[in-house]
Amino acid sequence: MTYTNCWLTYPLLVDETGKTIAVSSEFTGPVADSALEELKAGFGGMYRRSVASVAGEADIALKKNEKIHPEGYRVTAGNGKVVLESGGERGMLYGVFSLLRQLQLSGGSFNDFSWQQDTAPANPLRMLNHWDNMDGSIERGYSGSSFFFENEEVVVNQRTKDYARLTSSVGINAVVINNVNVVKAASWLISDRYYGKLRQMQEIFAAYGIDLYLSINFAAPMELGGLTLSDPCDPGVQQWWKEKAKEIWQKLPGFGGFLVKADSEGRPGPFTYGRTHADGANMLADAVAPFGGKIIWRCFVYNCRQDWRDAKIDRPKAAYDNFMPLDGQFRDNVILQIKNGPMDFQVREPVAPLFGGLKHTNMMIEFQIAQEYTGQQRHVCYLMPWFRQVLEQDMCVPGVPSRVADLVSGRSYGNQNCGMAAVANTGNDLNWTGHDLAAANWYGFGRLAYDMTADPLDIAREWVQLTFGSNAQVVDTLTAILMDSWPAYEKYTSPLGIGWMVSPNNHYGPSVDGYEYDRWGTYHRASHRGLGVERGRTGTDYCRQYNEPLCSLYENVDTCPDELVLFFHRLPYTHRLKSGKTVIQHIYDTHFEGAEMAEGFLSKLEAIKNLLPEDAYDRMHQRLQHQMEHSKDWRDIINTYFHRISDIDDEQGRKIYD
Ligand code: GCV
């Protein structure tokens, strides 16, 4: 059995066999060839029409227009003719994918189709970060093994191309193929041992407008080069990286650059030598600058050996504390990559305050679609509504537009080295993402990174229709499940922004105290008196990392949004939320509601059984069944824990196991 095409399905719409589509193109080269191939696949599938390249009069004219963004496009389609213009080949290819998408969504004949669009990407960098290891495993991977690596080898095959097609079809233009935790085997990726295969992969990516990036080990001069140190201020180390960069760009022309996790969770970095993150990033930046390379430096830096007894250390403060003093010290080709929240991809967190702090430093946002803490692709959890909320959050920077969307897209300060990244959710499972519905996050992330004003509901509907066809019942049912999935997950897991409550290592819950006495800085500190962490000035003073009026909004318990109130405050169970409910009643109600919603997902799916392909139905059914059962575990364990500890009964007298 072969793997699926996800949303690139191109089912037959109208049989127009015999009528060839003539395509003229002012673009040449591999990307132009891909565009033609995609048109062939699309028109062949949807209309049984063949596609021919012509020099003159055409049905589809692909034109160069320097006035249009090189990754944007302008399309006019009507009466069986299409004119598609772009300032560059990537924009042209995106326009072709959009045309095919719109045709499929229209459901009708090519002649009756009319459509116009004039668009450009919101973000310069739209990137996927894969956490794939050289042995084929994937860190936090929930959909099989890697299709990039196997037994310490780089794998290049048809799947590489199909991955590139899917990824490019939603506008993603950069991919990091290996884990940020670069162990020794992966350090060798930047050596002769692997350049040949990487070059093949890179050519496939490039034909789909995707730049190849690699995660590197900061200690590579020692691991690969036999040096005794990797001090960024050491001339020998600097020289080693300069030569290495020259070699890489010689072997892999058009290479994008490095993603670096340094001084984080045990990874090597500049701290060893008493140097700063700016010293480390700039040294690499100088080495890659002559080749137009970028250094993406992660800000996920915190003390992961904390003593839980010490309530003064507060993990969410760490990124800001580490990087704010360095604002303005980074080279132009360095981009700081900041996780969306100050913790670690929880179902709900405030936005990382660093976004509102840095003013003279390039930054991009790091989301995660791998669902590490949001159901691990066993639970359905469509994340675009959450990501959209994050992007809309105003960080209240005086004098500039400062929604997260403005800050990461470069609108606020007029820079180009910025954008959105997501930790990817793909693997070699037949459906690519383990849960068939998880592919909506891959699709959705690309669509949202390209257009941050896109409505998550529209994205969901579109994805369902492209993947499963346009039967209204199917589209309505699966869209409704997707749209309810993040709210449901939030309801039946940890309450009111507190996060965690999962087992260390595998990060799958429920385990209320799983992290409580551990070294990772992730505590709920529940007692019979209350729950949550005080992060205002009477507590850890984390709130002060936000600009006013955000700082006061969060610090004041009366204005702090309910959904984050236990992140920012330690409260008694009887505290009344703005919703009118007490904290404890909120916990009970949401847990009963959330588990009921999960049960509803299963029955909704069962009602459309006959309208879905059998294999996809079976896979989804099995996962939704698990989700239903697991959500009950969450419900009962959380409710029982807090009932025991608070000794307050549910007002509605529902079953809580004591
Ligand atoms: C790649 C979390 C994950 C780790 C991950 C780390 C990171 O801690 O559990 O698996 O490491 O984040 O983002 O670097």
Distance 139 CA to ligand 1 centre (A): 8
Q: Which stretches of the chain drop beneath a pLDDT of 70?
A: 1
Closest C-alpha residue for ligand 1 atom 13: 300
Q: Are strands 174-176 and 125-129 parallel, antiparallel or unpaired?
A: parallel
Residues annotated catalytic, as ranges: 265, 344, 372
Q: Is 263 in the pocket of ligand 1 (CB under 6 A)?
A: no
* pLDDT of the residue at 18: 87
Q: 652: which residues sit within 8 A by CB, 6+ positions away? A: 588, 589
Q: Is 599 in the pocket of ligand 1 (CB under 6 A)?
A: no
Q: Which residue has the tokens 């109130």?
A: 565
Q: How far apart (Å, rounded) are the C-alpha atoms in residues 178 and 340? A: 21
* Residue 437 DSSP SS3: helix
Tokens representing residue 542 in the block: 């984390």
Distance 268 CA to ligand 1 centre (A): 15
328: number of Cβ within 10 Å = 10
549: number of Cβ within 10 Å = 12
Contact between 462 and 170 under an 8 Å Cβ cutoff? The reply is no
Quick check: pTM over 0.85? Answer: yes
Q: How far apart (Å, rounded) are the C-alpha atoms in residues 440 and 466? A: 11
Q: Is 382 in the pocket of ligand 1 (CB under 6 A)?
A: no
Closest CA to 440 of 377, 356, 490, 349: 377
Contact between 347 and 486 under an 8 Å Cβ cutoff? The reply is yes
Closest C-alpha residue for ligand 1 atom 7: 300
Q: Which residue has the tokens 């087992």?
A: 503
Tokens representing residue 154 in the block: 């780089």
Tokens representing residue 448 in the block: 């949202």
Q: Is 181 in the pocket of ligand 1 (CB under 6 A)?
A: yes
The radius of gyration computed from the CA coordinates of the chain, to the nearest angstrom, equals 25
Q: How far apart (Å, rounded) are the C-alpha atoms in residues 420 and 367? A: 8
| Class of residue 47 by CB neighbours under 10 A (exposed 0-12, middle 13-18, buried 19+) | buried
Closest CA to 77 of 120, 123, 39: 39
Ligand 1 pocket, mutate which of 130, 132, 140 (most atoms under 8 A from CB): 140
What counts of helices (H) and strands (E) characterise the chain?
A: 19, 16
Q: How far apart (Å, rounded) are the C-alpha atoms in residues 262 and 257? A: 16
79: number of Cβ within 10 Å = 10
Q: Is 315 in the pocket of ligand 1 (CB under 6 A)?
A: no
Ligand 1 pocket, mutate which of 176, 265, 338, 339 (most atoms under 8 A from CB): 265
Ligand 1 pocket, mutate which of 178, 215, 339, 344 (most atoms under 8 A from CB): 344
Q: 87: which residues sit within 8 A by CB, 6+ positions away? A: 64, 65, 66, 67, 68, 69, 70, 72
Closest CA to 419 of 407, 431, 427: 407
Tokens representing residue 246 in the block: 């020259």
Q: How far apart (Å, rounded) are the C-alpha atoms in residues 634 and 452? A: 33
Percent of residues in the chain assigned helix, strand, coil, to nearest 5: 40, 10, 45
Write down how long the chain is. Answer: 658
* pLDDT of the residue at 88: 98
Contact between 365 and 392 under an 8 Å Cβ cutoff? The reply is no
Closest C-alpha residue for ligand 1 atom 8: 344
Using one digit for the tens of pLDDT, what is the confidence trace for 374-428? 999 999 999 999 999 999 999 999 999 999 999 999 999 999 999 999 999 999 9
Q: Which domains does the chain carry?
A: 20-119 (3.30.379.10), 125-467 (3.20.20.80), 469-533+570-658 (3.90.1330.10)
* pLDDT of the residue at 658: 86
Q: Is 277 in the pocket of ligand 1 (CB under 6 A)?
A: no
Distance 299 CA to ligand 1 centre (A): 12
Closest C-alpha residue for ligand 1 atom 2: 344
Give me the sign of the Cα torsion angle 526, 530, 531, 535. Answer: negative
